[in-house]
Structure 1
Amino acid sequence: MRGGPVKNRKRHKRSRVIAMSVVGATALAVGGGALLMTDNNASAAKETPAQQAAARAGMTIKCPDVATGLSDVPQQARPAVNDQLAKMDSQVATAYQRLVDQGGKTDQESVRTRVLDPLNSERRQTLDRIATEIEKVKPRPSGLDSLASCTVKQDEAAAVAAGAQTAAPGTPAAGGATPAAGGQQQSGPQRADFVDIRKVKPNVKAPRVQGKGSKGTFSSRCGRNENKHFNSDNVIVAPGVSNGAHHMHDYVGNKKTDAFASNQTLESAGTTCTNGDRSTHYWPVLRLQDGTKEFDAGAPGGGTEGNVGRILRPTSVQLTFKGSPVSKVVEMPKFLRIITGDAKAFTNGTANANASWSCTGFENRQLKDKYPICPKGSNVVRTFNFQSCWDGKNADSANHRTHVAFAAADGSCQKGFKAIPQLVQRITYKLAPGARNFAVDSFPEQLHKPVTDHGDFINVMSQKLMKQAVSCINSGRKCG
């Protein structure tokens, strides 16, 4: 879909996840899908209201990331496997809704029987179907069953905030951890997810460009999504699946990007880029959580999955391709797909997290797991530095990661990989000074955490334009 309200075109039934409190008992996640009750739970009546509220706040679902581990799926099996992986995302979203709907009944037995057991059973069946699809082409993979069991995870920031609010409504706890405004108090983010950029120490150190390095840059000007190209698809991760992302994306560049766009569709489409570049660039929208009912307030990927508030149009979007500090770069293959960052980093861990947050005037200070609080006259900045090493053969891989890699600290690529132009997507937003009422869209169970931010790219440059880009970069010029 390109612009306007999102239509529910297909495919998998999506859960309705509402932005409300996840109320639970005093519980911590442990392996095997069980819950471990703390000693305090046995004497809950003795707890203060603040302690009880803190224990109930910010519970979410944590599952092993199957997609990341599937690095060796035969090409013939990938469409069916991708379809099953999309179903697993829907299963987690549904389980998160069940957890929300539990209300006060989130004792160990209730969560196990009503949330985790049904989810883990569905995941085992889906993993079996994935193994069967792979077995049609090569020997059946072993060990997938070990990825079935999910647990419950508590957001510590939400627990602190809930305790502060119960103790003294409207009063920040130590560290200023009160819920963010705009109707997202428990589903995120929390005040503790924000930090004053002026209190962050400079932490950016770029590798030194050596004699054989490539110092040039090539830029594409593709606008700020003025044509309102939005959808909650992800054509890279979930091709052919409507609402495969469960959150809304901003698009610039190619005008026909959605879940159902083939390479041929993308190659023949129009573009918002002034140089004719038909490449696809997309990222989760940033919303101002001000109570505004956006066009997608009742749609999958939007309000029905906890993504609420006014979608902010960027103040600027810069798309720049840079060189390697240690070598020349080679041309990207057409239809190369790259994802940087991890949309599930809050539950997966930060191994693949890569987005950076900062403020104009302070970009030598980059944040990975916090939103920046910017002073007057400074704009919020999101930066995606993409992988710049390519395996020289594949335009994609089964887990959409192993065909590309990040350069080492000195800028060099690992053995067998070649340096390609490094895409940097830099996006800015003008917000009120000190604003804390904004968040990226996310999968429901990811609670709008900044660490889940991510960028996506499909190269659809013509061969002529790609040659021009590489020439500019390798010769040290600035083009575009």
Structure 2
Amino acid sequence: MGRNIRKRRSPLAVRAIAASAALAIGGGGLVWANFYASAHEENSSPNTTKAASAQVATISCPDVGQKLTNVPNRARGEVDGELATLDAQITAAYQRLATTRDAQARDASFVQNSILGPLKNNRSVIIDRIKLEISRAGGSTPSSLDGLSSCTATPATQTNAGQNNGGQNNGGAASQAPSPSASASAGGQQGGGQQTGNGGQAGNGPLASDFVDITKVRANVPRKAQTRAGGSTGTFTTSCGVNANKKFNTDNVIVAPGVTNGAHHLHDYVGNQSNDAFATNDTFAAAKTTCANQGDKSTYYWPVVRIQNGTQDFDQNNDGGGKEGNVGQIQQVKQAQIKFVGSAKSKVVAMPKFLRIITGDAKTTTNGLANANAHWSCTGFENKVQLTQQYPICPRGSTVVRTFAFQSCWDGVNIDSANHRTHVAFADAQGNCANGFKAIPQLTMRLVYGFRAPTLQNGQIKNAYAVDGFPEQLHKAATDHDDFINVFDENLMNKMVNCINKGQRCK
């Protein structure tokens, strides 16, 4: 399975390109502000993150990677490297903006002249490289790439572009609008664009409006597809712990193989213990695993959740951590339940070894909700309320739960695809796999936390929590996502398939 053994751009090369094109931005919106407060400054309350007194806007850039649905295998390593460079450029620009607040205050055209002007040219260079690499490998690029170099500045009130409190695609639950109490304390803009709600990381989120009292949200969980004759009703559970080894890194070997800090945020890992940017399929196969059944060396990883209570964690001054707006006390899960389930309409077939699946979208603030698959809830409410666009405030005796239901239809050929999406798909509302795709065991994950609920006080959120993310994605709840690489051995995978197809409950 060769995509992880091709030559990669070295981390030093990536850093050099990022440094030389520090004004370029790739893959998303970018927060910019005339900052009058530090990104990590606290107010007089030790448990409340101070809002920035700043005029805040975003620079919205198209997500190039999502347009690349048909990259030849020979070019994928190089294209992944270029896409990672675009993400690295976001961080470089984000950090530059955070350190030029005086220049911005003195010169109203500073952002336009120093950021937006050079931005189009710098992005064009990277996009042209991507086109050349695809062409050299015998492929063709979509004509739409030519229009992806331009970025636009938008007011902060539009930072949720594409998020309209409606339902989400791919079978996800609808998200309710904010409760009156949450809306009243939202980080809206008043005279002069001054941000009045809680801005978290100096305007980088979360805001008070990103939270909702779950007891005030109407039930919104849809009924599951009814299992028909020929369906598969069994389950297979694998126990892989809760990252007691504290394996963390800011890599993402699926999206940015060979690139250190390719995720730009911190991941929790269970299962395979050799997952980093440079892991290959051979590395995974030879690795140790935290899973109780040693036949499961799969890797399961997700962005960490942090409480913004003034605590500086170990990565406060690191790439992917505090340098990129991911600050606060890391919260590890109390339970990590991993279960594979069947199809309502058919038997399932074995997953191919080294199949890669990403569920959700880390860049929904840029891309909208088309690929969002975040599910936030509270214990005792999971069968009634699932939230996509807001974090729940749980009542006493209840705690936060994140759940994921991965794509359950596979194209029957590929273990990955150029945009890491099109080789797998979700079943429709009736449980059918379309376009000749085959049903595979559906990975479901349930992550349970134990931290106390945040509270809204005087328009600010106290003990706010948020998922780690790219700095320009504003720590929105909808950016939650989860990653999986299948490294089950053949015997255990066959046991799983037989168990699910026969309607059994197995471990």
* Other structure's SS at 1:188 match: coil
Contact kept in structure 1, 2:185 and 2:197, CA below 8 Å: no
**For the residues of structure 1 that align with 2:149 and 2:350, how far apart are their CA atoms?**
40
Superposed CA deviations along residues 63-96 of structure 1, whole A, max 9, x for unmatched, are 1111111011110011011000000111122233
**For the residues of structure 2 that align with 1:155 and 1:428, how far apart are their CA atoms?**
32
Give the C-alpha shift of residue 157 in structure 1: 8.8
Does 2:438 align with 1:418? yes
Report the CA distance shift for 1:217/1:255 in structure 2 as closer, same or farther (over 3 A): same
Does 2:75 align with 1:77? yes
Deviates more, 1:294-303 or 1:111-120: 111-120
Report the CA distance shift for 1:331/1:175 in structure 2 as closer, same or farther (over 3 A): same
Report the CA distance shift for 1:139/1:330 in structure 2 as closer, same or farther (over 3 A): closer
Give the C-alpha shift of residue 152 in structure 1: 2.3
Does 2:442 align with 1:406? no
**Partner in structure 2 of residue 462 of structure 1:** 489
Does 2:422 align with 1:388? no
Contact kept in structure 1, 2:454 and 2:465, CA below 8 Å: no
Runs of 4+ more than 6 Å apart: 14-17, 179-182
Does 2:194 align with 1:187? no
Report the CA distance shift for 1:10/1:355 in structure 2 as closer, same or farther (over 3 A): farther
**Partner in structure 1 of residue 333 of structure 2:** 314
* Other structure's SS at 1:355 match: coil
Superposed CA deviations along residues 119-141 of structure 1, whole A, max 9, x for unmatched, are 22211000111111111121553
In the TM superposition, what are the counterparts of 1:235-274 in structure 2 within 5 Å? 235-274=253-292
Report the CA distance shift for 1:401/1:21 in structure 2 as closer, same or farther (over 3 A): closer
Report the CA distance shift for 1:375/1:145 in structure 2 as closer, same or farther (over 3 A): same
**Partner in structure 2 of residue 96 of structure 1:** 94
**Partner in structure 1 of residue 185 of structure 2:** 176
Give the C-alpha shift of residue 24 in structure 1: 5.3
- What is the TM-score with the length of structure 1 in the denominator? 0.84
Report the CA distance shift for 1:222/1:124 in structure 2 as closer, same or farther (over 3 A): same
**Partner in structure 2 of residue 133 of structure 1:** 133
**For the residues of structure 1 that align with 2:55 and 2:402, how far apart are their CA atoms?**
28
**Partner in structure 1 of residue 218 of structure 2:** 201
Does 2:230 align with 1:232? no
**Partner in structure 1 of residue 64 of structure 2:** 66
Superposed CA deviations along residues 3-29 of structure 1, whole A, max 9, x for unmatched, are xxxxx9755336899xx994359xxxx
Superposed CA deviations along residues 325-349 of structure 1, whole A, max 9, x for unmatched, are 1111110000000000111101111
Contact kept in structure 1, 2:183 and 2:209, CA below 8 Å: no
**For the residues of structure 2 that align with 1:58 and 1:380, how far apart are their CA atoms?**
30
* Other structure's SS at 1:311 match: strand
Superposed CA deviations along residues 225-244 of structure 1, whole A, max 9, x for unmatched, are 00011000000000000000
**For the residues of structure 2 that align with 1:438 and 1:378, how far apart are their CA atoms?**
15
Contact kept in structure 2, 1:91 and 1:122, CA below 8 Å: no
Deviates more, 1:115-124 or 1:317-326: 115-124
User: What code does the residue aligned with 2:502 have?
Assistant: S
Please list every run of 5 or more consecutive structure 2 residues that lacks an aligned counterpart in the other structure: 1-9, 24-29, 36-50, 161-180, 188-195, 456-462
Give the C-alpha shift of residue 181 in structure 1: 7.1
Give the C-alpha shift of residue 283 in structure 1: 0.6
Contact kept in structure 1, 2:469 and 2:479, CA below 8 Å: yes
User: What code does the residue aligned with 1:111 have?
Assistant: V
**Partner in structure 2 of residue 12 of structure 1:** 14
User: What code does the residue aligned with 1:214 have?
Assistant: S
Please list every run of 5 or more consecutive structure 1 residues that lacks an aligned counterpart in the other structure: 1-7, 26-52, 160-171
**For the residues of structure 2 that align with 1:308 and 1:136, how far apart are their CA atoms?**
42
Does 2:368 align with 1:368? no
Deviates more, 1:190-199 or 1:8-17: 8-17
User: What code does the residue aligned with 1:87 have?
Assistant: T
Does 2:219 align with 1:219? no
Report the CA distance shift for 1:285/1:472 in structure 2 as closer, same or farther (over 3 A): same
**Partner in structure 1 of residue 474 of structure 2:** 447
Report the CA distance shift for 1:413/1:92 in structure 2 as closer, same or farther (over 3 A): same
**For the residues of structure 2 that align with 1:173 and 1:475, how far apart are their CA atoms?**
47
User: What code does the residue aligned with 2:118 have?
Assistant: P
Report the CA distance shift for 1:412/1:9 in structure 2 as closer, same or farther (over 3 A): same
Deviates more, 1:436-445 or 1:331-340: 436-445
In the TM superposition, what are the counterparts of 1:319-334 in structure 2 within 5 Å? 319-334=338-353
Report the CA distance shift for 1:210/1:288 in structure 2 as closer, same or farther (over 3 A): same
User: What code does the residue aligned with 1:63 have?
Assistant: C
**For the residues of structure 2 that align with 1:173 and 1:332, how far apart are their CA atoms?**
43
Deviates more, 1:367-376 or 1:116-125: 116-125
**For the residues of structure 1 that align with 2:159 and 2:74, how far apart are their CA atoms?**
44
* Other structure's SS at 2:444 match: strand
Does 2:23 align with 1:23? no
User: What code does the residue aligned with 2:277 have?
Assistant: A
**For the residues of structure 2 that align with 1:174 and 1:472, how far apart are their CA atoms?**
47
